[in-house]
Amino acid sequence: MNDTPDHIRKKQREIWFSKPQEERVRLGLELIQEVNTQIEDRIRAQHPGFSEGEIRVEFIRQMYKDDLSPEYLEGVSKWILEKYSSHKHV
């Protein structure tokens, strides 16, 4: 979706690139974390019975289903679930 007029996009870029590199990196990482949190919250709302491991598996599936093979995703899913289940016993 691209509904921002070109002159506004240009102004946004000017503002963004006027910030020091460290601040741009920090803000970018904060934005990524915020988006990830929103995705996890949506998964929790859609699947209230999911464990933390299952939430992580669903997050990975949603984020990378178009980039990773089903076999690889299955392996990652098993690994995540094993790690989360082993933490319960520690």
**Pick from 52, 61, 48: nearest CA to 81:** 52
List pLDDT tens digits, range 22-42: 999 999 999 999 999 999 999
What are 19's two structure tokens?
A: 């910030």
pLDDT grade for 61, boundaries at 50, 70 and 90: very high
Contact 53, 83 (CB under 8 A): yes
Q: What percent of the chain has pLDDT over 90?
A: 90
pLDDT band at residue 3 under the 50/70/90 scheme: confident
Q: Is 68 helix (H, G, I), strand (E, B) or coil?
A: coil
Structure-block tokens of residue 70: 């089903």
Q: Could you tell me the pTM of the whole model? A: 0.76
Q: Convert the pLDDT of each residue in 48-57 to its tens digit.
A: 999 999 999 9
